[in-house]
Amino acid sequence: MSSSSAQTAHPLTERLIESTRERPLDGPVIEVGTGSGRNTRALVEAGIPAVGVPDSTPYTQLPGTHDSYGAALSTHAYLHGASAKLRAGIAELRRVLRPNAPAYITLGSFKDARYGLGIALDERSFAPGEGDEAGIPHAYFDRDGVIELLFGFTIESMEEVDVDEIVGRWAHGDDDTVAGRVHWFVVAQRA
């Protein structure tokens, strides 16, 4: 994968941008976990106001008051953390989103080749024992787990996607040889 293609917007970002052509947002987008900034750049270039929350900021402490944002985007932040932290993070996201605001979220899938590998933190979360992400908790969900996690949201779509070509070397380093990554791409709406 070339460096230019690795920096293109995530497919969920493209979906969000496309949806605003038919349904304008009622406020800025909060992007939880900005990573390299590729998604924030794409939003801004599309004329969509965005507030980026860096990876170093806990997703359990998002900026803004109740009902601050017209949409949410997170393409990798909610892949990381133990189950209790993810539930707290989703509750915090629900707090800062306006009613009926869409959320475009990536979550780990039980079908991911890394599910069950490393140190078990709970029934859904494991921390790799080696590699670039050694010690970093990763959470994985089946369909029912996604629905349970997104309590307070109405799920519009959810699909399991093979993401080996999407994550790219920018996310996992040049020596990353892991294959079989599967993520949920979820579009939901705050109730």
pLDDT digits (tens, 9 = 90+) for 11-32: 999 999 999 999 999 999 999 9
Q: What CATH code is carried by the domain that includes residue 105? A: 3.40.50.150
CA distance 66 to 153: 15
Report how many domains make up the chain: 1
What's the confidence (pLDDT) of residue 3?
40
Domain that holds residue 98: 3-190
- Is residue 78 scored above 80 in pLDDT? yes
CA dihedral sign, ordered 33, 35, 38, 40:
positive
What's the confidence (pLDDT) of residue 101?
98
- Reference 94, options 141, 30, 143, 49; nearest CA is 30
- The answer to whether 173 and 132 are in contact (CB under 8 A) is yes
Which helix H or strand E contains 96, and what residues bound it? helix 83-96
pLDDT digits (tens, 9 = 90+) for 91-136: 999 999 999 999 999 999 999 999 999 999 999 999 999 988 899 9
What's the confidence (pLDDT) of residue 156?
97
Per-residue confidence band for 177, with pLDDT thresholds at 50, 70 and 90: low
CA distance 76 to 22: 26
